Amino acid sequence: MIAVGDLNIAPLETDVWSHKQLLSVVSHTPIEVGRIAALQQAGGFVDAIRHFVPAEQRLYTWWSYRNRDWAASDRGRRLDHIWVTPPLVGTLAAARIGRDSRGWDQASDHVPVMVEFSS
């Protein structure tokens, strides 16, 4: 099974630009982080992106429109997720975050998140 979506929750400290400053901001509050972890565990899901990117490394998929120079300040959050169940973990071949698309004219505040599977 694969679960994909803009879940609007950044679960890890490294999924936000400032864990301390965002603890009371929607998308990174303790209750949200706890509930998404429970959901992930209940479904037996593995975070397909973090399968390739260590939890210690900062990773974002969203940057606010309010920040005009989003790339320089890099105050992002990882709100978009791809989860897979254990039988698919062995077929994960690559993961990509389309960060560059955030700089396009009339871009979304979210960027593409992709995983590749091997056969």
Do the strands 113-117 and 62-63 form a parallel or antiparallel pair, or are they unpaired? unpaired
- What is the distance in angstroms between the CA of the first residue and the CA of the last residue of the chain? 15
Domain extents in the chain: 2-117
41 neighbors 9 (Cβ within 8 angstroms)? no
Fold exhibited by the domain 2-117: Deoxyribonuclease I; Chain A (3.60.10)
Report pLDDT for 111.
98
The radius of gyration computed from the CA coordinates of the chain, to the nearest angstrom, equals 14
pLDDT digits (tens, 9 = 90+) for 51-92: 999 999 999 999 999 988 999 999 999 999 999 999 999 999
